[in-house]
Amino acid sequence: MSTSSLIEGLDADVQVSRGAFALSAHVRVPGGEVLAVLGPNGAGKTTLLRTLAGLIPLRQGRISIAGTVWDDPATDVFKDATERRIGLVFQDYRLFPHLSVLDNVAFAPRARGVKRAAARAHALETLQTLGLDALAARRPAQLSGGQAQRVALARALASGPAMMLLDEPLAALDARTRLEIRSELRRRLTSFSGPSIVVTHDPLEALVLADRILVLEEGRIVQTGTPAEVARRPVTEYVARLMGLNLYAGRLIDPAHGRIRLDSGGELIAASIPEGLPADAKVLAVLAPTAISLHLGELPEGSPRNVWAGTVSGVELLTDRVRVAVKGAPDALVDVTAAAVAELRLTPGLEVQLSAKAGEVTAYPAP
């Protein structure tokens, strides 16, 4: 992170309350970086966005961007929403229905006092850059969902924002359009010089769009990291589930052999343990559902080192495979093929053996 990108960036120590709910999160986003904010319902994602946008004043803390202070209760500084240069994009686009695409995009510069002709020229230039100039004369009602979302992005970028805030920007689009717009959005945001924050419920969107992911739970940051780090080493059940992984908390009872006693019951052996971890250290272990096999009765010769018994509790069809929930010590989600479901006659109540290679268990210190 260079000094100049920090100066261009956001530094927000956000402390706010909404009734009984409190949000406490220090968020730093350098210029040019895209941060995705993930979290379960009620985690505080919207509260964070609204606070950054100037709709909720801080109780404590400080928000500054590119060296300008937007909110600092200690020194009585508060810039309201109209004074913050923010490009907002919402899932429902919120275009002005009575204005043409061109005038929608020209709206922000007009509102800042730029003359009509100059604002329109700038809007046209922005539309051209995004390949949308053919739509300039249309009204929002004459646009497809994908086009409307592109225009909403153009409008936000044309406002000359210091920061981009996007709230579930792709949620209203059908799957195919979402895929198309997602990669385009990524390109646009990375070429924007200020910080961008995207709130999303969709882990795939976060993984594809963002340089960094921040996970909020109950008003606190539980994890930040690159998409790869978060996907590889989730620190809470919520993140593990989002990433489609089994996560187990436990203690390292035998570092030399990678033996971990799990808090939920049972043990796992990991082929490698981070160096220097002492016996009894608290660790997390992840195991992908695809790395576990199910068997009926005796296991074949040369079986993996992790073998345990369980009872099938659920069978769910995913797009390309079947996810089997198994109760045991520990519980596990296991992904198998539809052929395996038929062959093993996997139905709830069936007793099975689970197995996983020690090399498939990733262990790391618990935070």
Ligand X SMILES: Nc1ncnc2c1ncn2[C@@H]1O[C@H](COP(=O)(O)OP(=O)(O)OP(=O)(O)O)[C@@H](O)[C@H]1O
Point out which residues bind ligand X (CB under 6 A): 18-19, 21, 39, 41-47
Q: Write down the least CB distance from residue 41 to ligand X, Å.
A: 4
Strands 362-365 and 293-295: unpaired
Query: Please, which residues bridge with residue 149 across strands?
Result: none
Q: How far is the CB of 258 from ligand X (least distance, A)?
A: 37
Q: Which residue has the tokens 């908390």?
A: 249
* CB nearer to ligand X: pick between 47 and 196: 47
**How far apart are CB 242 and ligand X at their closest, in Å?**
13
Q: How far apart are CA 141 and CA 132, in angstroms?
A: 16
Question: Quick check: helix, strand or coil at residue 366?
Answer: coil
What SS3 class is residue 83? helix
Choice between 1 and 55, CB closer to ligand X? 55
| Smallest gap from residue 55 Cβ to ligand X (A) | 11
How many CB atoms are closer than 10 A to CB 337? 11
The one-letter amino acid at 200: T
Report d(CA 218, CA 80) in Å as an integer: 26
Cβ distance to ligand X smaller for residue 33 or 167: 167
Longest C-alpha distance within the chain, in Å?
Answer: 80
Residue 43 CB, shortest distance to ligand X, in Å, is 4
Distance CA 221, CA 214 (A): 7
Is it true that the peptide bond before 30 is cis, omega within 30 degrees of 0?
no
Closest to ligand X by CB, 42 vs 67, is 42
- In the complex with ligand X, the residue whose CB is nearer, 220 or 305, is 220
Question: Measured between alpha carbons, how far is 354 from 362 in angstroms, rounded to an integer?
Answer: 17
CB of 201 to ligand X, least distance (A): 6
* Rounded Cα gap, residues 18 and 56, in angstroms: 9
For the CB of residue 96, give the shortest distance to ligand X in the complex, in Å.
Answer: 25
Q: How far is CA 87 from CA 74, 155, 192, in A?
A: 27, 8, 11
For ligand X, the closer of residues 11 and 168 by Cβ is 168
Q: What 3-state DSSP class applies to 290?
A: helix
Among candidate residues 323, 291, 299, 327, the one with its CA nearest the CA of residue 312: 327
Least distance from C-beta 34 to ligand X, angstroms? 19
